[in-house]
C-alpha cells in the first residue's frame, strides 16, 4: 500500500486518516537530517587535520572541536535538506529523506539547522578559538547558502566550487589545535577540493537521468557524458600530484608517500578507463532499487548499445572514496605514531 | 475515554523525541560546564 506522507505535527485530513500507513517522526528521523554518513567523513578529515598539526591540545578540547565540526556539518546538512526537498523528492537516491518522505516538516529541518549552526559556532569560539569558529561558520554558510541555494541549481560547476565546503574540515581541525592555518592545512583542503569533481562526476555519470529529472545542472546533463569523462581525467591528472605534494612540504611521511603514490596510480588507471569508456552514454541499466555504492555491473545491452562503461564509472566512484580515506588514514597514523615526516626537495 | 498514552503511536513517537531533546540539552549543559572547568583549570591552577 502506498504510504501517504504524514507530517510530524501528526495532523491528518479525514482522507489521510482513512488511507495512510502512518509513521510518526522519531528522533532518528531528525538525526538523519544531519546526513550522518557525510558527518562521519567530516569527523575523520577534521580529526586528521587536528592531529596532523602535531600540536598538543587537551584531549577534551580536541574532542569538543571535532564535535563542533560534526554538529556544524550536520546543521548544514539539515539546511540543505530543508531547501532541497523539492529536488530530493524527484531523485531515487534522496526521495527517502525525512523531508520529502513527509516525516519531518521543512520548517523543522530549517530550525534544526539554524539552531545547531549557532550552537556549534558559539561553542567552538568560546571553547577552542575564534579562527576555528570563523572557518566553521564560513563552511556552514558556504554549503547551505552558496552551494545549496545558488550554485547547485545554477551551474554545472556546482560541485567544483561547492566542494570547498566539504574540503574545509581539516583546516578547521588544524586551526582548532594551533590557532592558525598554515600551508599544510590548506594543502589538505586542496586535496579534498580537487578530489570532489572526479568523485561526484563518476557518480553522476550513472545517475545523470535522476539529476536531469530533478533539473539539477550536473555536468553530464549540461555538457554530456563525453565532456564529463574528459573532465574527470583532467581533474585526476591534477589531483594525484597534489595528493603526493605533502611529502615535499613536511606534512606526510614514507607511509603517506606509498599510499598516495600507489593509490594515485590506481586512481589514474581507473580515470583513464572511464575516459576511454562509454560511461554515461546510456541510462544506468540497473534496477531502481539498487544501492548506488554497489559497484558490480552485469553490463547488459540497452537498446543494442553496450553500457559496460557504467562499471568503469562505478569503479572510479568506489575507489575514490577508498583513496581519500587511505590518504587521510596514512596522515592520521603517522601523526598518532609520531612517524617522521618527509621534506623531499623539489 | 482518553486512550492510554503507552498505546498511542503518536504519543510514543513524541515522547521519544522529547526524551532525545532533553538528553541533548542536558549533554550540552554538561559539556559547557566541563569545558569551562578545563579552561579555568589552566588559568586558575597556577595561583593556588
Q: What is the ipTM of this complex?
A: 0.78
Quick check: A328 contacting B, CB < 8 Å?
no
% of residues, chain B, pLDDT over 90: 50
Give me chain B's average pLDDT, please: 82
Residues A271 and A205 in one domain: yes
Number of Cβ pairs < 8 A linking chain A and chain B: 40
Please list every residue in chain A whose beta carbon sits closer than 8 Å to the beta carbon of residue B42.
58
Structural domain of residue A171, as residue ranges?
27-180
Length of chain B: 48
Please give the biggest Cα pair distance in chain A. 74
Residue A305's pLDDT band, with cuts at 50, 70 and 90, is: very low
Q: Which residue of A has its CA nearest to B40?
A: A127
Question: Do B35 and A127 make contact, defined as CB atoms within 8 angstroms?
Answer: yes
Q: Which residues of A touch B23 (CB under 8 A)?
A: none
Cα–Cα distance measured from residue A187 to residue A221, given in angstroms and rounded to the nearest whole number: 31
Q: Closest approach of chain A CAs to the CA of B35, in angstroms?
A: 6
Planar angle of CA A114, A119, A122, nearest 5 degrees: 120
**Could A123 and B14 be called an inter-chain contact, meaning their C-beta atoms sit closer than 8 Å?**
no
- What is the number of domains present in chain A? 2
pLDDT of residue A286: 53
Cell of A206: 550513472
- Phi and psi at residue A295, to the nearest 5°: -100, -10
Reported confidence tier of residue A259, pLDDT bands at 50, 70, 90: very high
Chain B interface mutation, best of A32, A57, A60, highest count of B Cβ atoms under 10 Å? A60
Residue A274 confidence (pLDDT): 96
A155 plus A263 within the same structural domain:
no
Band the pLDDT of A303: cuts 50, 70, 90. Answer: very low
Indicate if A236 and A333 belong to the same structural domain. Answer: yes
Nearest CA distance, B24 vs chain A (angstrom): 11
Confirm whether A9 is domain-assigned.
no
Is A13 among the domain residues?
Answer: no
Residue with cell 578545563: B38
**Nearest residue to A320 via CA among A157, A204, A183, A187:** A204
A100 in any annotated domain: yes
Answer yes or no: is A150 within a domain: yes
- Interface check for A24 against chain B (CB to CB < 8 A): the answer is yes
Q: Mean pLDDT in chain A?
A: 89
| Residues paired with residue A305 on neighbouring β-strands, in sequence order | A302
Amino acid at each position: 500500500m502506498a504510504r501517504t506522507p504524514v507530517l510530524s505535527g501528526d495532523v491528518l485530513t479525514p482522507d489521510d486518516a482513512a488511507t495512510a500507513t502512518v509513521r510518526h517522526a522519531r528522533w532518528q528521523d531528525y538525526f538523519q537530517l544531519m546526513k550522518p554518513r557525510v558527518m562521519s567523513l567530516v569527523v575523520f578529515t577534521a580529526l586528521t587535520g587536528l592531529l596532523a598539526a602535531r600540536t598538543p591540545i587537551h584531549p577534551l578540547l580536541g574532542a569538543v572541536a571535532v564535535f563542533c565540526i560534526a554538529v556544524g556539518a550536520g546543521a548544514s546538512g539539515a539546511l540543505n535538506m530543508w531547501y532541497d526537498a523539492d529536488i530530493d523528492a524527484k531523485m531515487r537516491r534522496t526521495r527517502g529523506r525525512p523531508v520529502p518522505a513527509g516525516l519531518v516538516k521543512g520548517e523543522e529541518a530549517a530550525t534544526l539547522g539554524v539552531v545547531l549552526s549557532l550552537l556549534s559556532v558559539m561553542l567552538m569560539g568560546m571553547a577552542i578559538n575564534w579562527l576555528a569558529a570563523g572557518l566553521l561558520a564560513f563552511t556552514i554558510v558556504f554549503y547551505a547558502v552558496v552551494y545549496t541555494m545558488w550554485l547547485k541549481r545554477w551551474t554545472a560547476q556546482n560541485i567544483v566550487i561547492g566542494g570547498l565546503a566539504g574540503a574545509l574540515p581539516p583546516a578547521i581541525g588544524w586551526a582548532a589545535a594551533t590557532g592558525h592555518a598554515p600551508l599544510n592545512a590548506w594543502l589538505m583542503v586542496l586535496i579534498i577540493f580537487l578530489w570532489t569533481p572526479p568523485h561526484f562526476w563518476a557518480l553522476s555519470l550513472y545517475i545523470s537521468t535522476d539529476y536531469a529529472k530533478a533539473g539539477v545542472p550536473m555536468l553530464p546533463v549540461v555538457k554530456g557524458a563525453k565532456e564529463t569523462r574528459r573532465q574527470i581525467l583532467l581533474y585526476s591528472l591534477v589531483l594525484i600530484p597534489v595528493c603526493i605534494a605533502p611529502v615535499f612540504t613536511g606534512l606526510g611521511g614514507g607511509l603517506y608517500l606509498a599510499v598516495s603514490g600507489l593509490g594515485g596510480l590506481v586512481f589514474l588507471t581507473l580515470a583513464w578507463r572511464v575516459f576511454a569508456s562509454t560511461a554515461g552514454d546510456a541510462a544506468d541499466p540497473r534496477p531502481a532499487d539498487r544501492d548506488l555504492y554497489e559497484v558490480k555491473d552485469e553490463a547488459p545491452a540497452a537498446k543494442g548499445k553496450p553500457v559496460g562503461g557504467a562499471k568503469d564509472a562505478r569503479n572510479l566512484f568506489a575507489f575514490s572514496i577508498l583513496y581519500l580515506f587511505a590518504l587521510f588514514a596514512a596522515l592520521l597514523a603517522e601523526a598518532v605514531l609520531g612517524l617522521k615526516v618527509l621534506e623531499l626537495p623539489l | 475515554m482518553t486512550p492510554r498514552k503507552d498505546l498511542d503511536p503518536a504519543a510514543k513517537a513524541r515522547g521519544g523525541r522529547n526524551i532525545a531533546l532533553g538528553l541533548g540539552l542536558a549533554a550540552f549543559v554538561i559539556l559547557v560546564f566541563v569545558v569551562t572547568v578545563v579552561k579555568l583549570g589552566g588559568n586558575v591552577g597556577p595561583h593556588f
